[in-house]
């Protein structure tokens, strides 16, 4: 409802006793648009990134990924789909179309229907017992 006050926080901050508890909390909910990890343990940061899904992520920063024009930004799951900036944005809003055409000399054309009368005679001759 427009104009209604939301009781949900804009930025969810939660404490945890171990990293498994935090990962379980994150993975039990819809995928977030962004995930922010704060800590000095590099192995733990890698683990958080490896065991969660989010549109974007920052380590020891907040919202800086939004301001990097060359990084794609967008969501996954309930937070949206696609990447909308930089080269990824161009790809997202462009129609990539594959087109295959044989050259002027197509050897395999004799194996495709419709068969000419001459080819039918050759095939009948070759397939005689």
Residue pointed to by tokens 């996954």: 76
Q: Which residues pair with 59 in a beta bridge?
A: 37
**HEC string for 80-97:** CCCCCCHHHHHHHCCCCC
pTM, to two decimals: 0.54
CB 41 within 8 A of CB 63: no
The model's pLDDT over 56-82, given as tens digits with 9 standing for 90+, comes to 888 888 777 666 766 666 666 665 555
Domains of the chain: 19-92 (3.40.309.10)
The model's pLDDT over 84-94, given as tens digits with 9 standing for 90+, comes to 656 666 666 66
Considering only CA atoms, give the Rg of the chain: 28
Query: Is residue 83 pLDDT above 60, yes or no?
Result: no
């Amino acid at each position: 409802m427009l104009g209604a006050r939301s009781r949900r926080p804009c930025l969810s901050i939660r404490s945890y006793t171990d990293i498994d508890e935090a990962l379980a909390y994150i993975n039990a909910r819809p995928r977030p648009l962004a995930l922010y990890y704060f800590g000095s343990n590099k192995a733990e940061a890698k683990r958080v990134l490896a065991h969660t899904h989010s549109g974007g992520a920052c380590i020891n920063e907040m919202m800086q990924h939004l301001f990097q024009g060359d990084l794609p930004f967008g969501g996954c799951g309930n937070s949206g789909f696609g990447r909308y900036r930089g080269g990824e944005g161009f790809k997202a809003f462009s129609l990539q179309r594959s087109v295959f055409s044989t050259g002027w000399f197509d050897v395999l054309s004799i194996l495709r229907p419709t068969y000419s009368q001459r080819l039918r005679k050759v095939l009948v001759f070759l397939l005689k017992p």
